[in-house]
Structure 1
């Protein structure tokens, strides 16, 4: 392997990393935003049905797992998604109960707050804090890509100076 091979691989790898980050952000731009409570949509009504959804990749590997909850309100049946950091256990025994859900319509109707008249099942503050941490972790992807590209360019420059 020559001195130029590793820097070229770093440059190509960094550019692929940046391209993947860009594609993911274009596909789901709402994944890097935390909506305020005022930006959330609200639905109230009877909880009808809850079901666990498991999405698998092409290689039959679990890609995501969440729970869908159907709420029959004045607008008809609205299906919302309960996912991380909340588990499907919060929905146990809700069938037929009156619930109020606040969800993000831009992010696959992800629930940020869920309550019954007597108790709070999912708290907006906890869900928003979890998503905020997730946003911070994901936002470093561009930084890593640019660092790898810079290391490749520096390595290429050093290998040229050594020859």
Structure 2
């Protein structure tokens, strides 16, 4: 198992855990999310993807971040209520973290080392950047914010990691 999966995180409910415990041996799409972003409607597609593939060993993990134009200013309770009431989110979410800079969460320090389809690694560009993480913790793909969760390239990457 990768050390990425062993990194500590805190759930949106304030419980300490690890990324691996949240993913529970599943393929995961880790996404930095925000409630007040033009891309926030991606929550709907993320939940649909989560529901569609959950039975085959897949989960989405939402990671709130307020580093981009203050678009996730709420408390954990407010974020949970918004996600549940507005988009019916059932996938696991962590507490709010920084994804870039000196205070970047260790999970994102590792995730940002992975390149996107153009071969570019480095800082998170905006809310709703996505990383596909295999059950062993290997980062299989990185999708920039403008790539929709249900885009063909995301779906095919997810399906490639799932059991048949």
Could you tell me the TM-score, scaled by structure 1's length? 0.28
- Please identify the structure whose Cα radius of gyration is greater: 1
Q: What is the TM-score of this pair, normalised by structure 2? A: 0.28
Q: Between Structure 1 and Structure 2, which shows a larger proportion of helix residues?
A: 1
